[in-house]
Amino acid sequence: MSKKLANKVAIVTGASKGIGAGIAKQLGAAGASVVVNYASSKTDADKVVHEITNNGGAAIAVQGDVSKSKEVTRLFEETEKTFGGLDILVNNAGIYWTTPLGDFTEDAYRRMFDVNVLGTLLASQAAFKFFEGKGGSIINISSVAATRPENTLSVYGATKAAMNLLTWSLSQELGSKNIRVNSLIPSMILTEGIASLGLLPNTDNPYVNAMITRTALGQLAMAEDIGNAAVFLASDEARLVTGQEIDVTGGFK
C-alpha cells in the first residue's frame, strides 16, 4: 500500500479487535501514526500496535471509554503528547446487543446510545479542536442496520441511524473549516469474533449463508476492506468527499 497518509495522525476508537483493528492496521500501512483506542482489552490493543509497528509504522494503545468526556479528553491529550496533533478520527467504538421488544431494558438502551451516539459526538467535538485552522477527516462507522435492521435490532439500528444523521449534519456545519465527515456502512464482517462463533462462509451455517446470498457479489467483506475504504476517505484523494454514506457490503440488499 502506498504511503498516502504519511505524516498524518489518526485515532481509531474501539480498535482492539474486529473492524476497528482492521481500520487501524490499514491506516498504519498507509503511513499514518495510529492511536489504537480500547475500552477494556489492553492485550488485544497491544497486539494491533505490535502488528503496525512490526510493519514499520508508528502506533500506541490508549485506554478510554468514549461515552465519558474525561476519558475522551485523556485520549486526545495522550495523542497530542505522543504524536503532536491529529488529522483523522475514526468513530468506530460501538456496542451491539439484540433487543427483542419483550426483553427491552432501559439500561441496554442508554448504554448503546451512550457509546454509539454520545461517544461519536464527544470524540468529534474533541477532534474539532485539533482540526480547527487546518482541517481534518472524521469517519463514522455505521451499519446497514441504520436503514435495513434485522429483527431485534431496533435499538442498535436507531443508534446507527443517528450516526448517519450526525454525519450529514456535521459535514454541513464543519465544511467551511475544511473538515470532512463521512460514514462507512458495513453489513456482516468476517472478523475474529465471527470466527469464534463458528460463523464462517463455506459452512452449513444458515444465517451466514443467507447473508452471503443477500450480497450482489456473493461474498462478505473483511475488516481490511473497511480499512481500505477508510484510508481513501482519510486521504487527499477524497478531498471533495463529505457528507456521504458509503456502503462496503458487497452490494447487500
For the annotated catalytic residues, the residue numbers are 156
User: Which triple of cell numbers denotes residue 193?
Assistant: 469474533
User: Diameter of the chain by CA atoms?
Assistant: 54
Query: Which residues make beta-bridge pairs with 179?
Result: 136
DSSP string, 142-189: --GGGTSPPTT-HHHHHHHHHHHHHHHHHHHHHGGGTEEEEEEE--SE
- Phi first, then psi, for residue 45 (nearest 5°) are -65, -40
User: Which triple of cell numbers denotes residue 232?
Assistant: 481513501
